[in-house]
Structure 1
Amino acid sequence: MKHFVLICALVAGPALAETCPDAPDHDAALQALIGAARMAPDQGAAQALSQKMWAIWTDAPDEQAQAMLDRGMSKRSSYDFLGAIQDFDRLVAYCPNYAEGYNQRAFVNYLRHDFAGALEDLDRAIALSPNHVAALSGRALTLLGLDRLEEARAALTYALTLNPWLSERSLIAEGGPLAPVGEDI
């Protein structure tokens, strides 16, 4: 019987190594940063808080997932969009419950003007992380790209309730493409 258990453990070991652990629970820290962003006195203070949010979102569940995320982001930065998509595809296959894999793949699809693909990934990222401010603002930009202005305005308005300092706020200001529609006289 001992040999059977040992054989089962040896066989199962590699399969278990291919399972992504749960993403770290940073919800309390993220909520604190969102609260601080709402109260930030200026753009500079808000930018520092945004960088801390990014550190949370890009904290992958394990080293393997972190390597895939970092590699994909590096490829995206060097405009290797197909290589980045491949890395993010691997990441979401390995860690289907890690929101940032979907958010990063959405960003690459957005840059490629595949707005439908981006929107699908953004919706998944937001389902996994409802207060992912970057995914929410990315969703607004993607909806704008799809010319779905009312939905884009609503998405951006919600993102701005979480962080009123987002650079995308100019889109909803007077004269911007998502400015509230006024009444004609």
Structure 2
Amino acid sequence: MRHLVTVLPVALSVGSPLQADGCPEAPDISGQMAPLYQQLRNAPDAMAARQITAQMWALWDDAPDEPSQAMLDEGMRARAQFDFLRALDRFDALVGYCPFYAEGYNQRAFVNYLRQDYAAALPDLDRALELRPRHVGALSGRALTLLALGREAEGQAALRAALEINPWLSERALLKPLPGEEL
């Protein structure tokens, strides 16, 4: 959908006719993701892992239809410009329109994390992970959020889950050894 976004901004407002039928179900990308997860676990270094995760993000960031893609893209542009209120508005609209699209929740959580509103970020990360349990971005974001909330044990567990998927995450520097474990 990313390549064909030509929807007028007016059509994206809450309650617009384009939203009347609701967002289509997010596409099943499991067949495309499975080999990427395997490649990621076997990546020889961080550079190779970054290239693989870029392919994953391209799949996660491909919204179900043109209106949802426009909301996602607008939110991400606003976030990149540090316009967090605009970004939250777009991600709120996206989540309202596409409640089964994980990336809407993940991106809204990221904005709230950047705003240091960790309590708001956590439910969105949990929802993103309900929809895409192996979303390494949401897993690592959940780990960072829990750590920021002072929930060390849960944060370490979430970090370990993310590192099981991508052992090259930069967040691995935050991992603390378990009793008797060497890192």
- The superposition leaves residues 134-162 of structure 1 with CA deviations (integer Å, 9 ceiling, x where unpaired) of 00000000000101000000001011111
State the Cα distance separating 1:180 from its structure 2 match. Answer: 2.3
Q: Greater Rg, structure 1 or structure 2?
A: 1
Kindly indicate whether the alpha-carbon contact (under 8 Å) linking 2:143 and 2:156 is maintained by their aligned counterparts in 1.
yes
AA aligned opposite 2:98? C
- 1:112 alignment partner in structure 2: 115
Kindly indicate whether the alpha-carbon contact (under 8 Å) linking 1:118 and 1:142 is maintained by their aligned counterparts in 2.
yes
Helix, strand or coil: the match of 2:63?
Answer: coil
Are residue 71 (structure 1) and residue 40 (structure 2) matched?
no
TM-score (norm 1): 0.85
Kindly indicate whether the alpha-carbon contact (under 8 Å) linking 1:140 and 1:152 is maintained by their aligned counterparts in 2.
yes
**Identical-residue share of aligned pairs (%):** 59
How many residues are matched?
164
Helix, strand or coil: the match of 2:100?
Answer: coil
Are residue 47 (structure 1) and residue 44 (structure 2) matched?
no
Inter-partner Cα distance in structure 2 for 1:55 and 1:16: 24
State the Cα distance separating 1:64 from its structure 2 match. Answer: 0.4
Helix, strand or coil: the match of 1:127?
Answer: helix
Helix, strand or coil: the match of 2:159?
Answer: helix
Helix, strand or coil: the match of 2:160?
Answer: helix
State the Cα distance separating 1:17 from its structure 2 match. Answer: 4.9
Are residue 162 (structure 1) and residue 165 (structure 2) matched?
yes
Helix, strand or coil: the match of 2:162?
Answer: helix
- 1:126 alignment partner in structure 2: 129
- 1:6 alignment partner in structure 2: none
Helix, strand or coil: the match of 2:24?
Answer: coil
Helix, strand or coil: the match of 2:39?
Answer: helix
Aligned alpha-carbon RMSD (Å): 1.3
Kindly indicate whether the alpha-carbon contact (under 8 Å) linking 1:38 and 1:164 is maintained by their aligned counterparts in 2.
yes
State the Cα distance separating 1:32 from its structure 2 match. Answer: 1.2
Are residue 140 (structure 1) and residue 143 (structure 2) matched?
yes
Inter-partner Cα distance in structure 2 for 1:134 and 1:142: 12
